[in-house]
């Protein structure tokens, strides 16, 4: 067969593919609608609810940081800056959908129904923090980078085989896209047209490694092309845009059209985690100030205030409610019995192997003293 185009230029082809991934936006940095025809179908009440959840989540981040510094929480990965990416994507889901989060995605779990006290117990490494109530279709936050992408492909296939009208959403960071699991997950789900939504929260850093060192790909969304699935490159500080693309991805998934990869372009204001990371060692001085101009909450506030749907009083109410919720949840978490080694063994094994049985007896004896 004669080649169609003798002067085929793979470099030009790559450039063309890369340039076709344009940043999708609805609400610009000044809170103005710049893409009216793409406006999602959300009622006034729903818009207010979305904003409420973002403000609440920002307060949770502030309070969690402070509780961690007081020694009242353990592991914590800050979320401020990523509210549109996290909350608006989750807002496009239904209760019966599945959430497979990474360690920074505790807010989505909470809005999916995980009691806040449980999230605090997870932070403390308490096993009760991994025991989710019935009906909360989610797994515990994944610490192994990328592993949740493979698990998501499996959960999505399970949903498809059971013919359920649900989807599974998962989250990783920009660094996660360099892992083998990332490719395996999107490829497998694509091959089986499984109902999955793969979100890459490109917050510009994998701990201290900047995004541009991570890959020579111009966008992370374009990695979808290799798996033969749609890829979306979206302004991750724009709640309306994130909601819209996730909602569309959900619809395609439910209609049997398979998975979507969504790259949300965002920024984390805080440290990678509160376990000793110091962002001033790897960021430019004015970098955060530049990103704060794109803040997801500020632009949504401007938009809603102009529609007469939001006010300082309303926001203060939400802030107060969030603080009260945190206070109540942390005292609830304090009531959990301190965990024993034997508890962990009991939960891990239905039948204990003989060597574990020996260790069990040893710890039982120790704990009785």
Ligand X SMILES: Cc1ncc(C[n+]2csc(CCOP(=O)(O)OP(=O)(O)O)c2C)c(N)n1
283-342 binders of ligand X (CB under 6 A): none
Say how many C-beta atoms besides its own lie within 10 A of residue 130's C-beta.
14
DSSP string, 303-367: HHHHTT---HHHHHHHHHHHHHHHHHHHHHHHTSPPP-HHHHHHHH-SS--HHHHHHHHHHHHHH
Kindly write out the interface string for residues 227-266 of this chain, putting x where it contacts ligand X by CB under 6 A and - elsewhere. Answer: ----------------------------------------
In angstroms, give the least distance from the CB of 357 to ligand X.
Answer: 32
Question: Residue 275 interacts with ligand X (CB under 6 A)?
Answer: no
What 8-state DSSP symbol labels residue 127?
G
* Spatial separation of the C-alpha atoms in residues 164 and 142, rounded to whole Å: 24
Question: Residue 205 interacts with ligand X (CB under 6 A)?
Answer: yes
In angstroms, give the least distance from the CB of 1 to ligand X.
Answer: 43
- Comparison of 104 and 112: residue with beta carbon closer to ligand X: 104
Among candidate residues 231, 226, 137, 139, the one with its CA nearest the CA of residue 188: 226
* Spatial separation of the C-alpha atoms in residues 230 and 249, rounded to whole Å: 9
In angstroms, give the least distance from the CB of 3 to ligand X.
Answer: 40
* Ramachandran area for residue 291 (φ above 0: left; ψ -120 to 50: alpha; else beta): alpha
Kindly write out the interface string for residues 208-227 of this chain, putting x where it contacts ligand X by CB under 6 A and - elsewhere. Answer: --------------------
Question: Residue 176 interacts with ligand X (CB under 6 A)?
Answer: yes
Strand intervals (E) in 187-299:
196-202, 205-206, 209-210, 231-235, 260-265
Among candidate residues 150, 160, 159, 151, the one with its CA nearest the CA of residue 184: 150
Question: Residue 175 interacts with ligand X (CB under 6 A)?
Answer: yes
The catalytic residue among 252, 272, 299, 301 is 272
In angstroms, give the least distance from the CB of 238 to ligand X.
Answer: 19
Among candidate residues 115, 125, 54, 116, the one with its CA nearest the CA of residue 90: 54
Among this protein's residues, is 272 annotated catalytic? yes
Kindly write out the interface string for residues 91-110 of this chain, putting x where it contacts ligand X by CB under 6 A and - elsewhere. Answer: -------------x------
**Binding residue for ligand X, selected from 40, 173, 185, 236, defined by CB under 6 A:** 173
**Binding residue for ligand X, selected from 145, 157, 159, 229, defined by CB under 6 A:** 145
Q: Are 269 and 56 in contact (CB under 8 A)?
A: no
Residue of this chain nearest to ligand X (CB atom): 173
Question: Residue 156 interacts with ligand X (CB under 6 A)?
Answer: no
Q: Give the footprint of ligand X on this chain (CB under 6 A).
A: 104, 143-145, 172-176, 201, 203, 205-207, 272
Catalytic residue numbers, as ranges: 268, 272, 282
């Amino acid at each position: 067969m004669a080649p169609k185009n003798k002067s085929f230029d793979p470099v030009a082809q790559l450039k063309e593919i890369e340039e076709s991934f344009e940043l999708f936006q609805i609400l610009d940095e000044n809170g103005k609608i710049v893409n009216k025809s793409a406006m999602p179908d959300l009622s006034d009440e729903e818009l207010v609810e979305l904003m409420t959840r973002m403000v609440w989540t920002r307060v949770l981040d502030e309070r969690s940081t402070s509780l961690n510094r007081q020694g009242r929480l353990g592991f914590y990965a800050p979320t401020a800056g990523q509210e549109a990416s996290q909350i608006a994507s989750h807002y496009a889901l239904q209760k019966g959908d599945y959430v497979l989060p990474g360690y920074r995605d505790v807010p989505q779990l909470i809005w999916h129904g995980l009691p806040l006290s449980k999230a605090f117990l997870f932070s403390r490494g308490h096993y009760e923090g991994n025991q989710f109530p019935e009906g909360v279709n989610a797994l515990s936050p994944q610490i192994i980078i990328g592993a949740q992408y493979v698990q998501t492909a499996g959960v999505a296939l399970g949903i498809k085989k059971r013919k359920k009208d649900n989807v599974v959403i998962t989250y990783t960071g920009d660094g996660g896209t360099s892992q083998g699991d990332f490719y395996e997950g999107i490829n497998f789900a694509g091959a089986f047209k499984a109902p999955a939504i793969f979100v890459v929260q490109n917050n510009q850093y994998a701990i201290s490694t900047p995004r541009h060192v991570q890959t020579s790909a111009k966008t992370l969304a374009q990695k979808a092309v290799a798996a033969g699935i749609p890829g979306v490159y979206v302004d991750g500080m724009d709640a309306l845009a994130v909601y819209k693309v996730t909602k569309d991805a959900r619809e395609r998934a439910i209609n049997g059209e398979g998975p979507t990869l969504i790259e949300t372009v965002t920024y984390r204001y805080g440290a990678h985690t509160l376990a000793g990371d110091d962002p001033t060692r790897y960021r430019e001085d004015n970098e955060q100030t530049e990103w704060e101009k794109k803040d997801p909450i500020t632009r949504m506030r401007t938009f809603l205030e102009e529609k007469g749907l939001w006010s300082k009083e309303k926001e203060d109410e939400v802030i107060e409610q969030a603080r009260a919720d945190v206070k109540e949840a942390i005292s609830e978490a304090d009531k959990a019995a301190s965990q024993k080694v034997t508890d962990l063994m009991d939960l891990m094994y239905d039948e204990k192997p003989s060597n574990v049985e020996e260790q069990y007896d040893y710890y039982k004896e120790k704990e009785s003293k």
